[in-house]
Structure 1
Amino acid sequence: MLIFFIFAVSTPLLAQNFPIHYTDDLGREITIEKEVERIISLAPGITEVIYALGLEDKLVAVSSACDYPEEALSKEDIGRIDEPNLEKIVALEPDLVIAASVTKVESLNRLTELGIKNIGFKPASINDTIDMIEDIAYLTSAGRTGNEITSEMQAEFQRLKDLVDQKLKNNDRKKVFYEIWSDPLYTAGKGTFIDSLIQAAGGYNIAREAEGSWPTYNLESLIAADPEVYISSAHSTPDGLTLAELRQRDIFREISAFKNDRLYLVDQDLVNRPSPRIIEGYKEFIKAIFPELKEEIN
C-alpha cells in the first residue's frame, strides 16, 4: 500500500513562527518546535526542491533515486525510495524526513513510532507542485526563497497556459498517448501527474478512458484509440529508446501519430518529477502537441 499526504492548508507566509502545527493525510498532527537543521529527502523531486531553496547544507541524506543535481550523489544514501533503510535514517537523527507517494506506509509509520517527524506529498498537477514547494519552504524556514521560486514558476506557467488556451480556440485537442514502458506497453491514466500535464498542454490523454492509473495497452486498443501524438522517453526501454528506433516500429504503422511522424521523446525526469523543473517538462509537452509554438515557448 502506498501513502499519500496533503497539507491541510497552504502556508505562503514569509514570517516564521514556532511551533508549527499541521496535519497530514493520515490525520496525524505533527509539530515542528524549532528551525529544521537536518533534512532527509526520500524522493528525487523533493531533493531538487531542497537544492533550489538553498538548503543543501541541511540535507544530510537522500534515497538512491535522487540523482539531480549532481551534488546530491555525494550525500549519504539511505537506500530505496519505497523501502528506505530505517536504521540508517534514525542514526542520522534528522529533524524532518520528506517523502513522496512511492514510500510505503509501513516505513513512514515506523519512523513516526521511532520519533522521526516525516511528511510526504503527492502533487497531481503543476499548481500542486508550486504549492508543495511553498509548503516545504515554509516548514524549513526558507519562505522568502520559496516565494521567489514559486512566483516565477506561477508567472511562467500562466504565460504558457495562455499560449495553449489561444491555440485551443481554433483547434481541437490532439489525442495523445504517453509511453511509460514499451514491452509490455504501459501508460499513465486518468488522475496521474502525466495526465494533468497532457491536459494542461492542450492534449487529450487517450488513456483517460482506460481502467486504472497505470494501464497496459495492447496493439488493438492502441490502433482503435488512434493517437495523433505519441510521446515516449529514453527510459521506456532497457537499453534506452531513441527517436529513430521509435520511428521504426512497423507494428504501429496504422496509427496516425506514426503515419504523420508526430513522434516525440521527452526527458522523463522533467515530466515525472514534481520540482521547479516541471515548467521545463510542461514546455516539452506543449512543443510535442503544438510544435508551431516552439519559438514562443523558448
Structure 2
Amino acid sequence: MRIASLLPAATEIVGALGLADDLVAVTFECDRPEAIRATRPVVVDTALPAGLTPAEIDATVRERAAQGLPQYSLDREALRDAAPDLVLTQDLCRVCALPASTVAEALDALDLDATVLAVDPHTLDEVLDAVASVARAADSPAAGEALVAELQERLRAVDEAVKDRPRPRVLALEWVDPPFLPGHWVPAMVRRAGGEPLAGIDGGRSVATTWDEVRAHAPDVALVAPCGFGLDDAIAQADAVRAELPGVPLVAIDSASYVVRAGPRLVDGIEALAAALHPDAVPAPPPGRITALG
C-alpha cells in the first residue's frame, strides 16, 4: 500500500508499525522514522515565516486565521505524483497540520482515488485507538494490536511505579507568550505520570490565559511544554515562565516529540515526566527528553 502521511504523528505511527517502506509522501515536520524527509517527497510545508518568537507566531497565526488564510501549503503536484492509496491527515487542529477537508478537495481536483483517514484523537485512549485505526487502514491490523499492547503495558508499569505516592500539583503550559493551558491528552499525561494536573481540559482544546490566572493556581511544579518546540527551546522559554512564577520548580520537556504529537512517543513523554516528578521511583529517561530546571 502506498501511504501519504500529511501529519507528523501519523508518519510516526506508520514507522512504529513497521510500515515505513510504504510511505510515499510526508510533511516538512516528519522526523520519525529518522531521515524520512530525505528519502520521501515533502508535500506539506508551513505558510509561516521562519525565525518568529512565540509572541510573533501567536500573532501571525491569529492574523492568518482571521483572514481565512491557511497555516500550511500543500504541493498538489507532488501529491499527485506520489499516487497514494491511503492518505493520513487530521481535523483536530488547523494550526497543527493540514485539515482533512483541504486534502479531500485536492484529491478530487487531482482525480486521485485514495482513501482518506483523519487521525483525530482527543484523549490518550483515543491516541491508542488511532494507532489501531491506522494499522487497519494500512491492512496491518495485527501490527497495530501488538503495538497498542506494548504501549499499554508500559503505561501500566508507570501506573504501578507512581501509585500511592504524593502527587504534585502540575501546571502544564503549552505556550508561554501568551500563556496557554493544555487540553486534549496532556492532563491525562500528567495524571498518568503521577501528578495532579491543574487547569487543563481533558479532551478539550488548549486555551489562552493570563499570568495572573496562572499564578492563582499555585502549582507545585510548572511543566514548560511549548507546542512544536524541542527541549532546547523549551529550556530557553522557561526563562519567561520563571520570571512570572518565581520560586516554582520548572520542568522543560521536548514537547514537539513527546507531548503534542499524538503518536507512540506520548508514552515516552509520560515515562519522562514520571521520572521528573518521582525520580526515586521511575528510571531516568534517555538524555534530550526532559530537564528539571529547579
If the length of structure 2 is used for normalisation, what is the TM-score? 0.73
- Measured against aligned partners, the alpha-carbon deviations of 1:152-204 in whole angstroms (never above 9, x if no partner) come to 1111111212333332xxx3x43211122222222313xx1212212322333
| Residues in 2 aligned to 1:284 and 1:246: alpha-carbon distance in whole angstroms | 21
Gaps of 5+ in 1: 1-36
Paired letter, 2:98: T
Is the Cα contact below 8 Å between 1:175 and 1:205 reproduced in 2?
Answer: yes
**SS of equivalent residue, structure 2 residue 178:** coil
Range that drifts further, 133-142 or 57-66: 133-142
2:250 to 237, 240, 263: 263
Task: Determine which of 50, 67, 79 is the counterpart of 2:44.
Answer: 79
CA-atom RMSD in angstroms? 3.0
1:165 to 2:163 alignment: yes
**Residues of 1 paired with 2:229 and 2:130: CA distance?**
28
**What's 1:69 paired with?**
33
1:173-184 to structure 2, matched below 5 A, reads 173-184=167-178
Note the 1:85-234 alignment, pairs <5 A. 85-100=75-90, 101=92, 102-111=97-106, 113=108, 114=111, 115-167=113-165, 171=166, 173-189=167-183, 192-208=184-200, 213-233=205-225
Tell me the distance in 1 between the aligned counterparts of 2:236 and 2:45: 31
Name the counterpart of 2:56: none
Deviation at 1:283, TM superposition (A): 0.8
List gaps (5 residues or longer) in structure 2: 47-71, 287-294
How far does residue 271 in structure 1 lie from its aligned partner after superposition? 1.8
Q: Which residue identity is paired with 2:170?
A: V
The alpha carbon displacement at 1:69 in A equals 2.5
Corresponding residue for residue 7 of structure 2: 43
* Percent identity of paired positions between Structure 1 and Structure 2: 23
Q: Does the alignment pair 1:252 with 2:252? A: no
Q: 1:59 aligns with which of 23, 38, 53?
A: 23
Shift of 1:83: 4.2
Match for residue 24 of structure 1?
Answer: none
| Corresponding residue for residue 22 of structure 1 | none
Following TM superposition, by how much is the alpha carbon of 1:231 offset from its aligned partner in structure 2, in angstroms? 0.8
The answer to whether the 8 Å contact 2:170/2:219 transfers is yes
Alignment CA distance shift 1:138-1:207 (3 Å): same
- Count of aligned positions: 248
Question: Larger C-alpha radius of gyration, 1 or 2?
Answer: 1
Q: Distance between the aligned counterparts of 1:279 and 1:47, measured in 2? A: 16
Question: Are the aligned partners of 2:88 and 2:116 in contact in 1 as well (CA < 8 Å)?
Answer: yes
Aligned partners of 1:78 and 1:89 also within 8 Å: yes
Query: Deviation of residue 247 (structure 1)?
Result: 9.0
User: What is the aligned partner in structure 1 of residue 280 from structure 2?
Assistant: 292
Q: 1:236 to 1:58 in 2, by over 3 A?
A: closer
8 A Cα contact 1:45 1:275, kept in partner = yes
C-alpha distance in structure 1 between counterparts of 2:213 and 2:177, whole Å? 15
What is the CA deviation profile of residues 48-67 of structure 1, one whole-angstrom value per residue up to 9, with x for unaligned ones?
11112221221001011212
How much has 1:233 moved relative to structure 2?
A: 4.0
| CA distance in structure 2 between the partners assigned to 1:38 and 1:224 by the alignment | 51
Q: What is the Cα deviation at residue 263 of structure 1?
A: 1.4
Letter in 1 for 2:175: W
Q: Match for 2:20: what amino acid?
A: E
| Alignment counterpart, residue 279 of structure 1, candidates 238, 248, 267 | 267
